[in-house]
Amino acid sequence: METRITTLFLDIGGVLLTNGWDHHMRRRAAEKFGLDCDEMNDRHNMTFDTYEVGKLSLKKYLDRVVFYEPRSYSHDEFRQFMFAQSQPLPGMIEFFLQLKMRHRLQVAAVSNEGRELTEHRVQTFALDRLMDFFICSAFVHFRKPDEDIYRLALDTAQARPEQVVYIDDLKMFVEVAQSLGIRGIHHQGLEQTRMALVKLGLGL
């Protein structure tokens, strides 16, 4: 008899919401605020991992990437622009809420995001309606694809790997989870993910 799925691990950016702060958003920020996009990206690449793993505040990240010289705008103006880039992906939150209720699933976020962006996104889109707990890089100080972030999620869920489905839009992160025995779905859209879940017995 096949093991029943009891738990979903969901990425946030790319599955439930748009990404938190990707290269498209940085390009828009460079255009809006009159920044050199290449220099901004170089500085971002040198320091963003430190922010995302919870060892740097958003203010200090911005000090290094944007405010290393005087600007005509404030940290708050730039931060509000960053936050405004986050949008829900059509139908995804509602779909997983229905799936959770239908199958009485435990649901957790397993996500690489900085603290302030995560907190903004959780509050703005009421992700705590869906999530039972959050294993986010800024909170736990591990980043995917570090296997320890998945192990921590399993321990927190008190679930065996074969009881869990992990859904992420980045294929390699799914492969790492699968290497630990977690069932994985490479998310490429609502319908494709819905059909993959049906095959695992999680239909609506």
pLDDT confidence tier of residue 32, bands split at 50, 70 and 90: very high
Options 3.40.440.10, 3.40.50.1000, 3.20.20.70, 3.40.50.150; CATH of 7-19+88-199: 3.40.50.1000
Beginning with the edge strand found earlier in the chain, give each strand of the sheet holding 183-186 in spatial order: 133-136, 106-111, 7-10, 164-168, 183-186
Per-residue model confidence as pLDDT tens digits over 40-94: 999 999 999 999 999 999 999 999 999 999 999 999 999 999 999 999 999 999 9
C-alpha separations of 169 from 63, 101, 158, 189 in Å:
30, 23, 24, 9
- Return the domain boundaries, the chain: 7-19+88-199, 23-84
What local confidence, expressed as pLDDT, does residue 2 receive? Answer: 73
Q: Given a cut of 70, is residue 1 above it in pLDDT?
A: no
Angle of helix 58-65 versus helix 115-124 axis, rounded to 10: 120
pLDDT confidence tier of residue 13, bands split at 50, 70 and 90: very high
pTM of the predicted structure, to 2 decimals: 0.94
C-alpha separations of 122 from 45, 77, 142, 166, 169 in Å:
25, 20, 19, 19, 19
Mean pLDDT of the chain: 97
Q: For 23-84, CATH number?
A: 1.10.150.240
Q: Given a cut of 90, is residue 3 above it in pLDDT?
A: no
